[in-house]
Structures are given as C-alpha cells and as structure tokens.
Amino acid sequence: MFTLKNHLEIRDNHLVISGMDTIELAEKYGTPLYVTNESRIIDNFSAYRKAFPDADIYYAAKANGSLAILRMLARQGAGADVFSYGELYMALLAGIPREKILFNGNSKTDFELQKAVETGVRVSVDSRDEMHTLSEIAQISGKTIEIAFRVNPDVSPRTHPKISTGLKTSKFGIPADEVVSAYREASGLSGISPCGIHCHIGSQILDTSPFTEATHKMMDLVGKITELGIKLKFVDMGSGLGIPYKKEETAPTPRDHADAILPVFKERTKALGISPKLILEPGRYIVGDTTILLTRVNTVKKAAKNFVGVDAGFNLLVRPTMYDSYHYAVVANKAGSEPEETYTIAGPICETGDVFAKDRMLPRVEKGDIIALLDAGAYGFSMSSQYNGRPRCAEVLVKDGIADIIRGREDIGDLIGKQKIPERLM
Ligand code: LLP
C-alpha cells in the first residue's frame, strides 16, 4: 500500500479511501458516487483550530452543506457561515449553536431576515438598505439583532475573477470609505446592534499577502469604529485559503494563513486596547480534499482526441466547466498501473464544456473502468443540478473501513416531483 495523494492510498492496484476499496464502493452503491473521508474533515478542522487557537472557526456551509458533515463539524465546536435560509436551517438542524452562526448574503429576502430575527443569529449586513429593512423587521418582533457590516476592502486576492469577492467592483459589501458612517447610522437605529465587522476577499487564494493587506484595512476601520464609541465583539476575516489541486502545486496551510493575519490583528487590537473575537470562515480547506467523485466509464472513443465518456457530468461537479479548475483523475481500478496514453475525460451532458480533465496521461482506459476525480469535496455536490434530466448521485461517508450513505441517490421521481402539467394541457 502506498500513499497517492494526502489520505488516499493504493492497495492491489485499487484506489483506497479511509480503508475502503473504491471499486467495492462503486459496486455496492453504484456510480456516480461522492465518497467523503470523515477523518480527513476532522484533521482539516483541527489544523485550523490549532493555527488559530483563540479564534472561532465558522465553517462555510456553502462548500458542502450535507447534514452529516455539518453535524460532524458541530460536534467539533464549529460555528457556521450561512448564506441563505436553507443553509441556516440545516446548520441549526445539525446542532450548530445559533450564537455561532453568521447569516451572510448580499441580497437577502425579507423572509430570510425575518428568519434571522426569529432564530436570533447574527447578521452580516451588506448594504444600508438592508440595515433599514432589518431594523424594521427586528423592531416589529421586539428584538435586537447583533449585526456586522460586510466590508468591501478593495483587495485583490489574485484568484479566479469569478471567485474574487473583495474587489472594489464586486457585488459584495459596503465600500470601505462608507463603512464608518454606516456604523454611525446603525448605532442610532432600534432593533439592530452593530457589534462586529466582516469581510471575505475571495476563494482558492494561494498567496497569503492579500490576507495581510485585508487585515490592515479592516483594522484601520476597527480603529475608526472604536473611536465612535462602538465596542466591537468580533472581527470576521472570512476565509479563502486555497488547496493544492495539482500534485506539484504548493498551497499555504492554516498556519500560513494565521501568520498572515494574527501578528497584525494582535498588534492592532492591543494598541487599541480592545479584545474582539477573531472569526474565520473556511470552507474549501475543511472539505475540499476529503472527497472523491467516482464515475464509471461508459465509452472510449478515438477521435481528434482520445475521449473517455463517463457517467458523471458537470451537473455533479461544475468546477472544471465553470472555473477551468483542475481535478486530479485516477483510474481507480488501475491506480498503480503505468500511464500509457493521453485521454480527455468528458461527461454525458450535451455541452462541449462538459469536460472534467483534458489531455491526461492515464493507464489504458476501457469501458467499465472507474475514474476517481479527486479533491471534489468543496463546491462539488453543493453546486450540483439536475441538468439534462439527470438525478443527482448518492453521497457516502467512510471511516476506517465503514461506509454510510449520507445522501440517497435521486431517481426519476425526484426529477418530476414538484412539477405539474396544467389541466388545460391534458
Ligand atoms: N465566507 C464567505 C462570506 C464566502 O462567500 C465564502 C465563499 C467563504 C466564507 C468560504 O470560502 P473558502 O474558504 O471556501 O474559500 N464555487 C467556487 C467558490 C465560491 C466561494 C464563495 N464564497 C469554487 O468552486 O471554487
């Protein structure tokens, strides 16, 4: 047995995850199949906690919102960053305490704000407009809701433009130069109590210097807000730590993330004589490398390229199509065999962009082989759809040779479930 990448191993030429043979998993549960290694999630979460011993870690539920995963993290003491009522509901259901939930979002409905008020979670307010709406909703309920403002710090995270969230032109947050007056106004409104500040500059960030730049900018604002007489209870720096999708890629660790933030945070809060709680909201780092997507080869075709047609499509893992992202591909039943030919792995969806991996050297691929797409735990299943009339696949959680279904495979009934044909068309 030898280690392939991180927690993945090869035994008898088969890919093994947490003691489980992936080919046996594919036979037992069918394909496509998401398989998550429970221990790896705990290890990743622990690495964050160790790197930031005094901070609260709010897992970004959008990365992978499966209830079992939220539950595991709740048991580890995680809080949650939620971005919709659905995520809020699931986080609470999984046992994440409401005091450790921040309701984020740039365009929340009144219903969502009402739910935030009812459940008593903190809200990251993205605009003055939202501030007024929340203040009114909270007053009607006779409650006071603790809020942060989401700051747009105008920092370039040097990542894919679609996941850069802290640039001046992005849709998120209040421009940094308007933030102080927003706090001034909020402190005069009923129903809301400004007690935190929040930013998030982007995702899949591989260079930590933008985190330092953002911390400086946020602490400048913290200083000005403190001068207003507002006592901030927390500073939420979001997250965005990248992971090495390519084997040869190096990525910063939570420790590097801490080195980029903590010295500035500690020095500046000390100078101000305040002690707000630091909050981080990692998603990708916690779950990204914990999960593989198993997909079966339907057909191999020699054309302009050697195409391998598999049974998963971008409806199940949209990242390569949407961000040109790289996912390592392993022929799971030939995991230790020598690469022989170059293949392009494509899904069954009627779009040219439905390609998971381009021009990869792999052992000879045949119909029936199982391909594992690695590092599919973050923004994989959570971004899935039923496009092209394809029910979503199942998810399995494995730990030390034990496997549990954590989400059943959808079927045709799930495709038509909520649909109706009007009587006049019958
Ligand atoms: N906090 C907030 C407010 C966020 O918007 C996000 C991610 C996170 C935390 C977690 O960031 P992370 O640690 O996962 O980088 N679908 C894209 C990524 C979108 C990220 C959106 N926001 C992808 O597949 O790469």
**Residues within a 6 A CB radius of ligand 1:** 60, 62-63, 81, 104, 163, 165, 200, 203-204, 238-241, 281-285, 319, 323, 378-379
DSSP 206-227: --SHHHHHHHHHHHHHHHHHHH
Atom index in ligand 1 nearest the CA of residue 319 equals 24
Sign of CA dihedral 321, 89, 77, 123: positive
Contacts of 129 (CB under 8 A, 6+ apart): none
Nearest CA, atom 20, ligand 1:
203
pLDDT at 160 (0 to 100):
78
CA angle 213, 375, 160 (to 5 degrees): 40
pLDDT at 2 (0 to 100):
57
Sign of CA dihedral 42, 46, 48, 52: positive
Evaluate the omega torsion of the peptide bond into residue 32 and state whether it is cis, within 30 degrees of 0: yes
d(CA 93, CA 383): 21
Q: Are β-strands 341-346 and 306-310 bridged in parallel, bridged antiparallel, or unpaired?
A: parallel
The best mutation among 123, 198, 281 to test binding of ligand 1, ranked by most ligand atoms within 8 Å of the C-beta, falls on 281
Q: Are β-strands 277-280 and 56-60 bridged in parallel, bridged antiparallel, or unpaired?
A: parallel
Structure tokens at 118: 């009812």
Closest CA to 396 of 388, 405, 387: 405
Catalytic residue of the set 195, 199, 350, 393: 350
pLDDT at 1 (0 to 100):
55
Residue with tokens 């399995």: 396
Nearest CA, atom 10, ligand 1:
283
pLDDT at 312 (0 to 100):
98
Ligand 1 centre to CA of 242 (Å) is 10
Single pTM value for the model: 0.97
Ligand 1 centre to CA of 11 (Å) is 34
Ligand 1 centre to CA of 108 (Å) is 17
Instruction: Tell me whether residue 350 is one of the annotated catalytic residues.
Output: yes
1: helix, coil or strand? coil
Residues of the chain with pLDDT below 70 are: 1-3
